[in-house]
Structure 1
Amino acid sequence: MKVLLVNGSPHAEGCTYTALKEVAETLNNEGIETEIFQVGTRPLAGCIACGHCRQAGRCVFDDGVNDVLDIAQGADGFVFGSPVHYAAMGGAITCFMDRLFFTDLNSGKKAFYLKPAAAVVSARRAGTTAAFDQLNKYFMISEMPVISSRYWNMVHGSTPEDVKKDLEGLQIMRVLGRNMAWFLKCKEAGIKAGVPFPVREERIATNFIR
């Protein structure tokens, strides 16, 4: 089993990475393989609603979104991490998530369907719960079980050294890792026991203005 962790910070080994690394090490200790993908510092376009993903099954922009979508096909679970910018997700990871999940939806790949996901946010001081809520919405609209910890999945600090002093935050990351591992093992056991996936209904879209 494998969990893909996406670092949405422009800093490759900053505060968000420090939190994700704690989750990854815990998953490894539970026998789960991990991979951390760095969104990086290249400019990321927002979705331009061009419809290319419906035709080609891939986003028209080649800046990492398609790479993650390819990796996601073989991943069993996901953790998406973001720094907090102005009480919200960072701009780069927001563009990234919009296009990643929209491409998955329109391409019919279903790379995320019924795979567990968790959000992790990092801030110096405040704005964490707003960014945390924003991340979780991508999972819920994609029918992904959301994995929790014993508190909201957040760490605090201006530097990685500060985050390492946030003992409660690091514990939250470890509990998250163990909860993710437990869910993955339960899902695997259910599949082996022959428990079928839920019956899927055809999507109904109701417009409020007719």
Structure 2
Amino acid sequence: MAKVLMINGSPDPAGCIHTAMEEAAAILAEQGIETEELQIGNRDIRGCIACRKCKETGKCVFNDLVNETAPKLAEASGLILGSPVYYGNPNGTILSFVQRLFYSCGLDLRMKVGASIVSCRRGGNSATFEALNQFFGICGMPTAPSSYWNDVHGYTKEDVYRDEEGLQTVRNLTLNMAFMIKSIADGKDRYGAPATATDVFTDFIGGR
């Protein structure tokens, strides 16, 4: 069975992001896709220190939830990142977590479907949304679309339930995500995975 890993960057385990992810999980379940939500926004996750030890060992030098999550990401067909808006940016914890996860895991993430969900009271949602989506394109992950930007508004889960358009956007997102996951799986069976060239690296400093 296909699986979507959901990383919740909110410090509130029952807050707005969790509420939106519950909505996404229900739709994905209807489509025959399993989900797992990881609550990381209230965890002590330090940032990357660019030591590059992961290039030698295949895992982050800080042996915490990041390394525990890498096998889950390897098995997943899709990934949803969720964060509240903090000063027009994602929560710092989820940024530290995902930066370390993507850099250290050494996984081939091509054609795993990515999506992000944001919650805010009023503004900063589009900047936060774009920041989270940056993780996907660089790794060959197609980003699932919706009928609007994937954000819900309010302070509490009750506020999110009142944001009917926001929840509709989340439902449309997950329906599209399910379609993409199934279509990519069918395409791989029929055509194989797309080739990716990696032999050229521009080094402006060295003049090569």
Q: TM-score normalized by structure 2?
A: 0.94
Partner in structure 2 of residue 198 of structure 1: 194
Partner in structure 2 of residue 41 of structure 1: 42
Counterparts of 1:61-210 in structure 2 under 5 Å? 61-104=62-105, 107=106, 109-110=107-108, 112-192=109-189, 194-209=190-205, 210=207
TM superposition shift of 1:85 = 0.2
Superposition misfits of 4+ residues, deviation over 4 angstroms = none
Counterpart residue identity of residue 92, structure 1 = T
Answer whether contact 2:113 2:144 (CA < 8 A) is retained: yes
Answer whether contact 2:41 2:91 (CA < 8 A) is retained: no
- Provide the aligned length of Structure 1 versus Structure 2: 205
Counterpart residue identity of residue 177, structure 1 = T
Structure-1 separation of matches of 2:8 and 2:85 = 13
Counterpart residue identity of residue 4, structure 1 = L
Structure-1 separation of matches of 2:204 and 2:11 = 39
Structure-2 separation of matches of 1:130 and 1:208 = 30
CA gap of 1:159–1:203, structure 2 versus 1, over 3 A, is: farther
- Specify the SS of the correspondent of 1:179: helix
Structure-1 separation of matches of 2:91 and 2:43 = 14
Counterpart residue identity of residue 164, structure 2 = L
Structure-2 separation of matches of 1:82 and 1:204 = 35
Counterpart residue identity of residue 66, structure 2 = V
Q: Deviations over 1:139-194 (max 9, x none)?
A: 011110000100011111011110110000000010111111111111122223x2
TM superposition shift of 1:41 = 1.7
TM superposition shift of 1:208 = 4.0
Structure 1: tracts of 5 or more residues without a match: none
Moved more, 89-98 or 180-189: 180-189
Q: Deviations over 1:22-53 (max 9, x none)?
A: 11111001111111111142321110011111
Q: Deviations over 1:41-91 (max 9, x none)?
A: 232111001111111111111231112111011111111101110000101
- Specify the SS of the correspondent of 1:117: strand
Structure-2 separation of matches of 1:20 and 1:97 = 18
Answer whether contact 2:41 2:94 (CA < 8 A) is retained: no
Structure-2 separation of matches of 1:46 and 1:53 = 14
Partner in structure 2 of residue 9 of structure 1: 10
Structure-2 separation of matches of 1:71 and 1:170 = 26
- Specify the SS of the correspondent of 2:81: strand
